[in-house]
Amino acid sequence: MASILMFSFLVLMTIGLPIGFAMALGAAITVGAHESLPLAVVVQRALLGADNFSLLAIPFFILAGNIMNVGGITNRIINFANACVGRFAGGLGLTTVMSCMVFSGVSGSAVADATALGKVLVPGMKKADYDPGFAAAITASASVMGPIIPPSIPLVIYGLTVGKGVSVAALFLGGVVPGIMLGLGLAVVTFIIARKRRYPVHQAVPMREVLSYGSKAIWALMMPFVILFGVTGGVVTVTESAAFAVLYALFVSMVIHRELSVNQLWRIFVQSGLDSAVVMIIIAFAGAFGWLMAVSGLPREIAAWIGSYSSNPLVILMLINGLLLIVGCFMEAIAAMIILIPVLVPIVQAAGVDLVHFGLVMVFNLMLGLLTPPVGILLYICGNFAGVKIERVVREVLPFLAVGLGVLLLITLFPKLVLWLPKMVM
């Protein structure tokens, strides 16, 4: 069963079928070849995979991000970031990193960050004589912070998939330090490359103007803290915090900034529905695919293979990191998580690895796959904004990818970087 499932899935992926449909058809082909299983089991398992109340957090966070884009909140974040760091070498690149760090505190999605900020910042960097490939690369790399800094859609999915014993609030807190480390690393590399290439430096903004931009962006800057404290303080659940984020974004956009009208809401709702459907269909079909993998016994074989090398937690984590880095090059992150979590969690549990620590390692690792071809969706999105071929973006993204791998190594070797904040707060 496992051989038919994996072979059909890989063939369908190779011919260019979208990953969600490749999993669905692969599961259908496998069930069709197995006489004792009815074809209806694929539909049943897909529905069970998506039938979880907590998954409502995903469309709510997507909707909140889209409201921010149209309601002028995103532009205020960019203006404030530029006022803070635009005076340094590579100021617009640093603005991109800082803007992504702030916007990450609302959207929870790398694709949302890249789309919302890239359409403004990438053309802006091109006009300032930045290399288009570099502009696309820094925007794509900074967008990876979206699923690391809380709230995070992949961390919600990880917590729900693992189930009891893993708090989504703890996962959110665990992502703060790695997200900040990634942001600082990207900023340093951007500064070094910008000085070497002599990219333009913006005139320093007086402190009074910086404070003025900060006051205009204060509602956006408060939003991540309100969400995080609400979840970790037990005031709201993750799903409720996502719904609150939508109400907060609506209030700020329509009442405070007055840049969002009722007539614009329908288009925002439609776009958010389409964005959510892409994620949810992957989750549903990955549920059916993962169930067939479990039935086939493949997870036990993989666990035995990894366990045969060593029982040392660090060695096991490094082996899993190598596996995930390869998987991330060819598979969409959410689908990979739903398929691999049932396989890998028993292995790390047996080795004594904290599941919150492993969750951040897994999500961080797979998010780097967004920067690696052939799947690397962020490369395509930002390359399109820059008007360059993906090959040029890949060359420019390598130093930033190295930073990501460095942070991944650090959080793997030193679990306290992830667990310090959750243990202190919770």
pLDDT band at 236; cut points 50, 70, 90: confident
Mean pLDDT estimate for the chain: 87
Average pLDDT over residues 141-161: 91
263, two tokens: 């007539």
What percent of the chain is modeled with pLDDT above 90? 32
Note the pLDDT tens digit of each residue in 81-111. Answer: 888 887 888 888 999 999 888 888 777 788 8
**What is the rounded CA–CA span in Å between residue 282 and residue 289?**
10
**pTM given for the model:** 0.85
Name the pLDDT band for 19 (thresholds 50, 70, 90).
confident
Q: How far is CA 198 from CA 87, 129, 191, 300, 393, in A?
A: 13, 10, 10, 54, 19
More confident site: 286 or 248: 248
Residue 221 has pLDDT above 80, yes or no: yes
What 345-352 contacts at long range (C-beta under 8 Å, 24+ apart), as own/partner pairs, is: 345/162, 346/299, 346/303, 347/303, 347/306, 347/307, 347/316, 347/320, 348/313, 348/316, 348/317, 348/320, 350/307, 351/311, 351/312, 351/313, 351/316, 352/313
Type of residue numbered 330: F
Q: pLDDT confidence of 416, banded at 50, 70, 90?
A: very high
**Is there a cis peptide before residue 38, judged by omega within 30 degrees of 0?**
no
Of 302 and 144, more confident: 144
Give me the pLDDT at residue 305, please: 77
The pLDDT value given to residue 62: 84
Bigger pLDDT: 329 vs 395: 395
Secondary structure letter of residue 206 according to DSSP: P
- Distances in whole angstroms, Cα of residue 231 to Cα of each of 89, 225, 314, 397: 38, 10, 31, 34
How many angstroms separate the Cα of 47 from the Cα of each of 284, 290, 292? 6, 13, 14
Residue 426 has pLDDT above 80, yes or no: no
> What are the pLDDT digits (tens) for 317-372?
999 999 899 888 877 788 888 888 888 998 898 889 999 999 999 999 999 998 98
Q: Which helix (H) or strand (E) is 50 found in, with range?
A: helix 40-50
Residue-wise pLDDT for 191-214, tens only, equals 999 999 988 877 778 888 888 988
